[in-house]
Structure 1
Amino acid sequence: MEDKRFCEDTFCVSGVKFEDRNGNGVRDSGEPGLPGVEIRASDVDDTSRAPLRGLTGPDGTFQVCGLERATDFRIIETVPFGYQQTAPLDRRVSRRLIALDRGYFVEGCDDNFSGLAFGNQLIPNAIGGIKFEDLNANGVRDPGEPGLAGFTITLTPATPGAPPLQTAVTDANGNFLFTNVPPGNYVLSETQRQGFSLTLPALNSIPVTLASGGSSIDNTFGNFRGVLTGTITGTKFLDVNGNGVQDAGEPGLAGVTITRTASINDPTGANLSVVTDAAGNFTFANVPFGNFTLTETVPTGFVQTAPPPPGTISATINFAQRSSAGNLFGNRALTAMVSGVKFNDANGNGTRDAGEEGMAGVTIRLTDSANVVRTTTTDGSGSFSFTGLTPGTYVVSEVVPAGFAQTAPPAPGTFTVTLTTGQAVGNLVFGNRAVTAPTNTASISGRKILDLNGNGILDGNDRGFEGIVFELHDTSGNLVATTTSDASGNFTFMNLAPGTYVLSEILPTNFFQTFPGTQGAPGTYTITLTEGQAATGFLFLNKC
C-alpha cells in the first residue's frame, strides 16, 4: 500500500488556543479555549508570501491548511489584547515539529500536524480596554465600528493617598492598557476631543475595582463623530425670607443674566448667557455634551442666597442625561421687607392652631414715621408682604373685615417694627374671629368724582373715579374699615354700628382735592350714625 503522505500536495496544522489561567504553559483542567484568535502559518524561506490564516472557534480549536510539501513553516498566534503568551514552551514535539520562541516550526512539511497548543494568560495587575467610534450614536459597539487611535485615557485612584493618576493613549486599534497597577479602586475617564461626543459609558467615567494579581481589560469608551446636545433649565427666584429655598409664594425674578461655562464643542462665538423670562425661568438649548458651571449676575440691590457658596451650580449633559432641570438661583432684596399672614382664628384663642386657614383679600396697612400709608391685600393663603422698604420704623395694621373681631396681636392690635438695611421681618400674624353681625346696622355711602374743570362742583363732563380707597375712622383715630370706589365712582360702608365716624379718602398720586377740601388741605366728613341709618351723598372731587 502506498503511503498517503506522498499522494498529498498540501497539509494542515491544527490545535487549540486556551486561557492559561495559572500561567504555567500547560492546559490544565477547567482552562477554557479562547475563540476568535488568529493563527498564522508563514513560509520561513519566502517572506514575501502572504501567510496562511485561520481563526479559533468557540472552543478555541483551530485548523490552518495549505502547507506545501517539503516547505518549512512557522506557526504563530496573534496574542489578544490584554494577554501575555505562556505556551508553547520550547521543546521538540516530533521529528519535523519544534516548539520554539512561542511558536511552532514545521521542517520540510510532509504530513498533517495536530496537537499544537497556544496558551495566553491575562496580564496581571492590568487595567485596559478599547475606545471605538460609535457610528450610529447608540451607545453600543456594533459590528464594524472601528477603534479610535490617539485618545488620552486617564486612570485616577478613587482613594486619597493612593498611587498618582496615570494616562495612556489609545493605539492604532483603539486599545489602551495600564500595567503594574496596585490593587484598589480606580476611575477611568477620557479626555474629550473636539468634534466628538462621548456615548459610552453613559455617565462619562468607568469605576474599576482591581484585586491583587487581577485584570480588568474589557472597559469600553465610545465616541460619536459629531456634536450631540441637550438642555439646561432652571429658575431665578426672589428669596423673600432669605432661607436659600424657594418656598410657596416666592416669585421668579425676570431679566437676570445666567451664564454657563464653554464646551470644547461650542461653536465659535457661541452665546453662553441667557436672561430669565417673566416667570424667572431660563433655558440653555443645544448644549454640547459635557460638564458645566452655571453662574448668575446678581442684580443691583440684591444678595445671593442660593445656591450655597461659592454660588455656582454644576450641570452635566451626557448620553444618559440629555437634560439638567431644576437649577435654582435665589436672591434676597437688600432693601428691607415686612411679611406675615392673616388667619381665621376659629376658636378665638389668639393663636393659629392646626386647621385654621389663612384669610384672603384682607387689607393690611404699613404706616411709616412720616404717616405715609402703604396698603396690600392678603393672597389666597392669607400671606402678605411689603418689599423695597428703607430703614426706619413702621406700624403694621389690618383692616378688620366686617363680621369679624380681631384676636391677634394683643391690643392695640398692631405691630411696630424697626428695620435696618436689608433686614427681613416676617411672621407678623393677624388673627380674626367671626362674630354675629348686629341687626339693623347703619351705612355710609358716597361718590368719587374726577373734577375735570377743577371748580369743586359736579358739573359738565365730570365723571365717576374708579379704584380710589376710602377710610372710615372712629373718634379715637382707629381705622374701622376701608372700601374702594366702583366703575361709577360709588362707594359704601355697610354693617356699621351707631356712633361717630370720620370719612376720608387716600388721594391718588399726582391728584389734589377740590371738594370737600382744597389743594393742600384735603377735607373729611364727620358723620354721626344712629342705628340702622343710611347716610348718603358724600362727595369727594379730585383733579390732577
Structure 2
Amino acid sequence: MTHSELITERSYYNGQGFDNNFMTWSSITTIDARGLFWSGCLNRPSGTQGICPPGVTPNFGPVENTLVDTRLTVIGDEGGFIALVCGNYSRGAPDGPAPTISGTKYEDMNADGDRDTGEPGLGGWRIELLLDGQYVTHDITDAHGRYAFRLDANTLRAGGQPIGGGRYTLREVQQSGWIAGEAPAAVVVPYGAEDTHYGNRDFGNYRPATLRGHKVEDLDADGVDAGDPGLAGWDIEVRRGGTVIADAITAADGSYTVLVDPGDYTVHEVLQGGWIQSVPASGSHTVDVVSGQVVTGLDFGNFRPARIEGRKFHDVGVDGAGDGDVGLEGWSIELAPSTTTTTASDGSYAFDALVPGTYTLAELLQDGWRQTAPSTGNQQVTVRSGDVMTDVDFGNVCLGEVAVDVVNVQGDLDPLALEMHLEEVDVPGILDNEPLALASGADLDGWDGLLPGTYRVTAFLPDDVFSDDPDLVVVDGRFAIVKEVTVNPCETTSVTLRVFTASDGKVTGGMRMPVPDGFATAGFEFQTNPAHGVRGTLQYQDHEMGLNLHTDDIDGILVSEDRLHAWVWGRVLHDDIDQRFVLHLVDMDEPGRDDRFELVLADGYSRGFDVPRFRGNVQIHKPKK
C-alpha cells in the first residue's frame, strides 16, 4: 500500500487496540509458515464478511500470495496481520520492546558544562519528557541523580494520543538557588527504534559561589582585629582578567557579599581618597571557587594617615608647662629613626602622613639650653588611624652665667688667686643645676650653664689679699666677699670683687662708743712708710665683755680718694687664737660725732655698726704720692 494508505491503516489498527510501539511498515517476505491460508482480513464467523481496513478487499489465499511488488496487503490470520514492527501488532501477544531515554542530574562544580570525575549526582529533581513540545511524563532523580523514560506507547500519551516516533525534549524543573548549566539536546526517536537506549542525557546545574568579607578601618595598621570598626559605602569588585564581573557596596557594619559563578577571581576594593590600604598586603584576594562554595574572610583593611604636632617653647619659669612661654624657632625635632623637621617662627612643628603605630620624638638639644619638658627627654606617642595628636611639646630653658671680675684697687694680683664658691639661693623650677655648674676652686673666673635664679658668690681672701668691698663678711672663720646675684636666661651676670694688695695712707684717732649693755674704747695709729712698710698699733677694749685687744701686727692700709674711708687689716690674738681683723674707719670731719669705728674679727666678733652715739675722732690722712 502507499504511504498514505499505511498511515490510514496504522490509525485503523491503533483504534483496534493493537500494540503500536514505534511500528515500521514495510514489505515483508513472510510472517508465518508457508502454506498458511487466511480468509478475509480477520477471522470471521462462518458466513460473515471479514473486517478489513478501508480500501482493502477481502481476499483468500496462501500467505506467500499476499506479496505483490513490495506492497503490503494486510491479511487476517489468528488475530494477527503481516508487518515488520518493533513489537508485532498482536492483540494476544505481549508488548513489544520499547526505546528508553536516560541521564543524570548532577552538580556542575566548576560550571564548565561537562560532567567531570567526582561531580555528584543530585537527587529529588523533576525531569520532564515532551514530544514535539507536548508534555508526556516526568521522573524524579534518585539519590545518584539518575532518571529514565521507557517510551511505551501503550502507557505514554502526548496530547491525548499514544506516543510514537518523533522529537523528544527533556527539561528540568528549576530549583531555587541553582543555575542551569548543561542541558541535553533533543532526541529524535524514529519508528523502528525498537529497544534503542538513548543515554547520557545529562543535566548540569551549579549553585553560585559566595564571597564574603568585611571592610574595616585598620586602627593600628596591624591587620583586621576584632575591635576595628566596619566601613560602610565602599565598593568591592570581583574581577577576572581585569574585567569587573560583580561588585557590592559594604553595609553599615562593613560587611559585603558577592555571588559569582564557579571559577577563579581576584577581589579588590575601590580605594577612596585619604585612605591607605593595609590588608591584604598584596592589595587583593585571589580565590578559586566551586559550586555552592562559601569563602569568608576576604577582608580589606584601610587606615587614615595620622598626624603628630606640638610646640617648642622657652620655659622661662622652668616649670615644664609652657603656659605663656614664647615659641622657639629653628629647633630640630626628630621622629625616630630618621625623620626630622624644624620648628616654625612660633615654635610649632608637625609630622604628617604617619602610619598608625608608636613613635619616639626627641629634640636636637642646642648648647646653652636645658630641657624641661618632657621630663623623660623624649616623647613616646601612639597614634591610630586618623589620629591628630596635639601638644606633643618640648620645653627648654636658656642657661645663664656668672662672670667674676676681681678688681685690685691698690696693688697687683692675679684674679685667679682667689678661692671662689657658688651656691644656690633660690633656683625655682623642676630642674637642678648640674654639679659641674657649681664648681669651686682658685682657678675660676666665673660659672656658666646656670639655671635662672638667685645665687651666692663667695670669694675667700688669702692672708696677703685685703678688701674694701662692702659685701665683706666672715664665713666659717675666714674673711670673704659674698655677693648675691640674679642669673637670667641667656644672660651673663657680672660680679665685681674689690681687693687690694698694697698699702698707703695714715689713720689716727680714738673713740668711745656704746656696745650692747656697755661701751667700748679704742686708740689707734696706722701708717704706711715707704722705708719701713705698714706699721701701727690698735688698742681696743670692750668693757662689757672684758675684751682687751692690743696689736701692732698691721698688714694693709687703704684710704679712699676722698679720705672719708680707710680700711686697716691686721692680726690680733683673741681667746688665744691668732686671727685676722679688719677695721673700717670713717672720717666725717670735726667735731667727729659722725665718724665711725667698725671692727670685725675673723671669729665673728664685730662692733661699731649702726652706733647711735659716737664720741671720739677719726683722722684719715691723704695717701702719699
TM-score interval w.r.t. the shorter chain?
under 0.3
What is the TM-score of this pair, normalised by structure 1? 0.28
Give the strand-richer structure, 1 or 2. Answer: 1
Larger Rg: 2
What is the TM-score of this pair, normalised by structure 2? 0.25
